[in-house]
A and B are shown apart, each in its own frame.
Chain A
Amino acid sequence: MEWDWNFVREIMPTLIQGVKITILATVLGSVLAAIVGLAIALARRSPNRTVSRSVGWFAEFIRGTPLLVQLYFIFYVLPDIGILLPPLVAGVIGLGLHYGTYTAEVYRAGIENVPRGQWEAAKACNLSGYNTWTHVILPQAIPPMIPALANYFIAMFKETPLLSAITVLELMNQAKSVANTYYRYIEPMTLVGAFFLVISLCSVVLLRWLEHRYGRIER
């Protein structure tokens, strides 16, 4: 079977539609992962042993199991207990939770990298716990983490095709439906690969820049 440029032109609009959903899912998933990760990282530092232990095990469990099965779990099990989610929302929650456990480790490392003196200074200035976090610790901890966080967001972008398994119409699903309609697999599948490669390579450039901009800790 030969490569057919006309067919490529014909299916392009459908694939672009898919790319939009893919990017939307990545962006929403990244935001959720950033929030979930921070919550997990803070909960693991909680003085309450039960909270920190159980959150730790929960994160460990999510990190040790495949995203695909977690997506199935959210998509098929939750409706049985009355929580009916649209596919895209289920997908974003799955991505956010899964990568939240990874970003939690990034936050943990970033927070531990803030020198003890900063904590002591905050205490000496009589700052409350909340003010210590928002004005002293996090502003110093977050910039060095940005490249590592971006790294995970790129990894998440590459996992979005999994959402096609729970009927989200993203790039992979559009390509599959096009391929099944015309029974031509070469062009759609190769184009999906090309899309991913191009976006990943662009994001690698962005990542290098982020590393250059934020990677060094200014002391």
Chain B
Amino acid sequence: MTQWSGYLGLILQGALVTIELTLMGSVLALIMAFLAGIGRVSRFSIVRALATIYIEFFRGTSIFVQLFWAYFVLPFVGLSLTPLLAGVLALGLNVGAYAAEVVRGAILSIGREQYEACTALNLGRWQGMRHVILPQALLVMLPTFGNNAIELLKATSVVSLISLADLTFQAQVVRSQTGSTLMPFVSVLVIYFVLALIISWGVRSLERRMARGLDGVRV
């Protein structure tokens, strides 16, 4: 029982790597989501096609395959990635593709009259998007973004298979060193669950903050 604290330290180190991955992956996913989501509603067919190919490709193959591809195949074409970089890239691009559909759906959910108002105010396409459409669409996207972030958190466990020392990896280390299975896996499951709760709580409070002053404006 005495050395549990040391092993717990190992697991907490893994938690830090998991949190780091989740944050970096989320930032990349957010950027990709807006690029591809706005690309899907672009008026240029080439941009629409590119965005559609990106989204279908990354949603069609699993995160696991993409990660292995990034880690094992890219080095052969001269692009060597560290496990962390490969992990962030695969997670961000994968979840970004899912979130892009959320962005598109939210933009399309804004009523016609808002677009007409933009035209009436003589706003350009980009100005209208930036000042009228996106601020309203953001609120529609937020809850689903929260779910996507939790999916990303859960997907980070896969990086343990390319030898990145995240929570799941450390659980395996503790298992192989102590032979105990219950303690490492239960504690890791609990940590993941707490992180997921923190994300959903954070998104909910952000949503409340952003919805302030919008009562009665939205139908």
* A interface with B by C-beta (< 8 Å): 1, 61, 64-70, 72-73, 76-77, 80, 158-162, 165, 172, 176, 179, 185-186, 189-190, 192-193, 196-197, 200-201, 204
Contact = CB atoms under 8 A, between A and B. Distances in A.
Given A80-B182, A172-B64, A193-B65, 5 more contacts: A66-B154, A158-B61, A158-B63, A161-B64, A193-B61
B196 A193 contact: no
Interface of B: 56-57, 59-66, 68-69, 72-73, 76-77, 150, 153-158, 160-161, 167-168, 171-172, 175, 181-182, 185-186, 188-189, 192-193, 196-197
Q: Name B's interface SS.
A: helix
B187 to A, nearest CB: 11
Contacts of A159: 62, 64
A68 B192 contact: no
A189 B171 contact: no
Given A66-B157, A158-B61, A179 B72 contact: yes
A200 B59 CA distance: 9
Contacts, number: 101
B150 A64 contact: yes
16 contacts: A1-B77, A64-B192, A66-B154, A66-B155, A66-B157, A69-B168, A69-B192, A73-B186, A160-B62, A165-B161, A185-B76, A189-B72, A190-B69, A190-B73, A196-B65, A201-B56
Contact of B158 (A1, A68, A189): A68
B193 A65 contact: yes
Q: Tell which of B68, B167, B186 has the most Cβ of chain A within 10 Å.
A: B68
A36 to B, nearest CB: 18
Nearest to B69: A189
A186 B186 CA distance: 37
A73 B184 CA distance: 10
What are the nearest 4 A-B pairs in CB distance? A64-B196, A66-B157, A158-B62, A161-B64
